[in-house]
Chains A and B, each alone.
Chain A
């Protein structure tokens, strides 16, 4: 069974500082994709960053980067130079071709940015 675990229900960070959100997953598949989604309060969920499991290089998108440890089945998100607009719920998600377009989501981490 595919499971995604986010062990930090809440996190906070000072504006301009760096924060890392943790995510682990469990799978027996070799081909899969990992995602971080952001859900601001009362707004729609948007993709932050994604990682293909076959790629060893960690994905980066501007201030957002991941630390993908395939053997440890770990996929953490680092947010650098945190901004007030980064405050949101962050969901880690997993998808594998064998289950089609079904995404498996973690329970989320609520990030607060302190001015």
Chain B
């Protein structure tokens, strides 16, 4: 079974630009979550999508948005990039049921904002 795939792996943007990151979950997984990882803040929850609906949202500004498609693939978008948005963005998939299930992570998309 293929794992969680994130694209692109690395990208460099300048302040004010926007970026779109993509995530393909494990086959059969209907939940996709996004996390921002930085050295100072650790992993911070952005949002979770389940069956094309945002089910939960973290404490991030509206510049951060996402969506999920009918095949469970997800994208997240960051508009009007700021220097502080430089981070590793991790996508994680799961079955989506509220049990003891673990999150399966992708390798991440490393965003550098100049």
- A residues adjacent to B (C-beta < 8 A): 33, 35, 37, 42-47, 50, 52, 91, 97, 99-108
Interface size on B, residues (CB 8 A): 25
Establish whether residues A105 and B102, one from each chain, have CB atoms under 8 Å apart when the complex forms. Answer: no
Pick the residue among B43, B48, B105 that contacts A100 (CB under 8 A).
B48
A46 to B92, CA, bound (A): 11
CB–CB A101/B94 < 8 A: yes
Q: Mark B29-52, 1 if CB is under 8 A from A, else 0.
A: 001010100000111010010100
* Shortest distance between the CB of B101 and any CB in chain A (Å): 8
A31–B107 CA distance with the chains assembled, in angstroms: 30
B42 near A106: Cβ-Cβ < 8 Å: yes
A44-B106, A102-B33 known; A97+B45 contact, CB < 8 A: no
A selection of 9 A-B contacts at a CB cut-off of 8 Å is A44-B4, A44-B108, A47-B102, A50-B102, A99-B56, A101-B98, A101-B103, A103-B45, A103-B103
Chain A nearest CB: distance from B54 CB in Å?
11
Are B56 and A35 in contact, CB atoms less than 8 angstroms apart? no
Q: How far is the CA of A35 from the CA of B3 in the complex (A)?
A: 20
| Closest residue on chain B to residue A105 by CB atoms | B43
> How far, in Å, is A68 (CB) from chain B's closest CB?
14
Contact with B45, one of A44, A47, A102, A108 (Cβ below 8 angstroms): A102
**Inside 8 A of B43's CB, which chain A residues have their CB?**
91, 103, 105
Q: Bound state CA distance, A104 and B103, in angstroms? A: 12
- Complex interface bits, B77-111 against A, C-beta within 8 A gives 1, otherwise 0: 00000000000001000101010101101111000
